[in-house]
Structure 1
Amino acid sequence: MTSSTNYDGVELNEGSIYGGTEGAWCSEALEMSVGKIPFLEAVNGSTVLLPCIYSSCIGIKDLYFNWQFNDNGTMRKVCEGVIPTETVEPHVNVYKDRVEFIGSSKTSNISILLWNVTFDDEGEYTCFGRNPKEKGKNHSAIFTLIVVDELKVVDNTLTIIIASAVGGAIGLLMAFMLLKNFTLYVLAKIEEKNKECLVSSSGIDNTENGLSGSKVDSKATPKKA
């Protein structure tokens, strides 16, 4: 059964939060995000960014967060900290070598850098957050790190061939349309010239045959003596 709470005559279901000052409804007051692409392929020995940002439509107070690494089923804490308010930077405890916290409460950022990654660093990293304003509700997002010897070179040969074929087809179509329009233009001019010649020839024939429009010499009738 879903529980509900009544605030000023407004009934709220469990899991819904109403921001009275802004007058806005929030289905999730706190949200953790690792970006639209939640994975990264990195070369062994490189330095990578593990991104995570948070957002809350009701604000934060003493927001607790941490990063955890899934080590073959065992969750190992990478770092953790508490953000008192939006304008106060957190004190962060780091528990894993080669990890640097680069986040800031001013930008709602709790990202970390992992220096000189090794194959042992490959796996899932969980960005976790809990806002006391939500009465202990937990939120998290998972980012997957893949470590390789070298990045694969993408073969674009097929793409280039397809693009060239499409471009050639478009070029031929444009050339055909231009040739067609030019041919129609020439034919129209020839037809127009033929009509002019036909009208001119018809006028000459009428004149020679003494038809209307032609001049006929008339002789005066001699007077009777």
Structure 2
Amino acid sequence: MEVQWVGVETPRLGPPHTAISVIFSILLGLRYTQALEMSVGKITHMEAVNGSTVILPCTYASCIGIKDLYFNWQFNENGTMQKVCDSIIVSEGVVPDVKIYRERVEFVGMNDHNNISIMLWNITFEDAGEYTCFGRNPKEKGRNHSAVFTLYVVDELRVVDNTLATMIASAVGGAIALLMGFMLLKNFTLFVLAKLEEKNKECLVTSSGIDNTENGLSGSKADSKPTPKKK
């Protein structure tokens, strides 16, 4: 009988460069998760009075540093992005030569601590809206990021009504004071009762000794007198 051998195909592993490519992609992804970031701070809006001067904050950060970082500020004017200013920062610490495209705008960041903030002078109601701080870092293969800051322009700042807060604070303070007074009164009452009880015990001991003396009981002063002798 002829025996037929059935061959089992051994799975082939990919070439070494495939694994290297996967690892490189993962590392690249991890690097980009901490890449260029533009930030306007935790408070992303401001309310200012018409005619005042305000600063729109913005800073940048990159885990691997920057080189020829391009940045700009843009203003959303009725759906159209209008450039406010732009420049290129050659490297960290270098003061950029900023071009201004809008009136009453001044660059005040000076790249100090990665600061690229701008100042708006004598603002009007037309200046209200969204301002976008944008950055692109060629060192990170053109990685870019942006942050939006919203400016509201009003006739006068709203006065916050603190009546409710004052009432709550007064109520809480009164309750605490009442509780402290109650605790002091309680402690004082317990102290007085303790003193009265101690005084009552002393009175009972004293009155008991007097009763024994008057009744001529053993151990009293009446027993201490000597018996008169008969003549």
**Global fold match (TM > 0.5):** yes
More deviation, 94-103/213-222 = 213-222
* CA distance in 2: counterparts of 1:54 and 1:89, whole angstroms: 14
Matched, 1:153 2:159: yes
Secondary structure of the 1:12 match is helix
The aligned residue for residue 188 of structure 2 is 182
Secondary structure of the 1:91 match is coil
Matched, 1:125 2:139: no
Offset at residue 156 of structure 1 (A):
1.9
Q: 2:92 aligns with which of 86, 89, 93?
A: 86
Alignment of 1:96-175 (within 5 A): 96-175=102-181
* CA distance in 2: counterparts of 1:214 and 1:202, whole angstroms: 11
Secondary structure of the 1:104 match is coil
The aligned residue for residue 71 of structure 1 is 77
* CA distance in 1: counterparts of 2:136 and 2:24, whole angstroms: 26
Give the ranges of 4+ consecutive aligned residues of structure 1 lying more than 3 Å apart after TM superposition: 4-7, 207-212, 217-222
TM-score by length of 1: 0.84
The aligned residue for residue 15 of structure 1 is 29
The aligned residue for residue 38 of structure 1 is 44
Q: Larger helix proportion, structure 1 or 2?
A: 2
8 Å CA contact 2:35, 2:143 repeated in 1: no
Q: CA RMSD in A?
A: 2.4
The aligned residue for residue 20 of structure 1 is none
The aligned residue for residue 214 of structure 2 is 208
| Structure 2 letter corresponding to 1:143 | F
Offset at residue 118 of structure 1 (A):
1.2
* CA distance in 1: counterparts of 2:77 and 2:19, whole angstroms: 41
* CA distance in 1: counterparts of 2:180 and 2:191, whole angstroms: 17
Offset at residue 221 of structure 1 (A):
9.2
Matched, 1:53 2:67: no
Q: 1:28 aligns with which of 23, 34, 57?
A: 34
Secondary structure of the 1:29 match is coil
The change in CA–CA distance for 1:91 and 1:74 in structure 2 (over 3 A counts) is same
Secondary structure of the 1:141 match is strand
Offset at residue 12 of structure 1 (A):
2.8
The change in CA–CA distance for 1:213 and 1:133 in structure 2 (over 3 A counts) is farther
* Percent of aligned pairs sharing the same letter: 70
The change in CA–CA distance for 1:136 and 1:6 in structure 2 (over 3 A counts) is farther
The change in CA–CA distance for 1:213 and 1:29 in structure 2 (over 3 A counts) is farther
Instruction: Provide structure 2 residue ranges, at least 5 long, that are not aligned to the other structure.
Output: 1-17
TM-score by length of 2: 0.82
Offset at residue 104 of structure 1 (A):
2.0
Instruction: Provide structure 1 residue ranges, at least 5 long, that are not aligned to the other structure.
Output: 18-25
| Structure 2 letter corresponding to 1:146 | Y
* CA distance in 2: counterparts of 1:109 and 1:6, whole angstroms: 39
Offset at residue 214 of structure 1 (A):
2.5
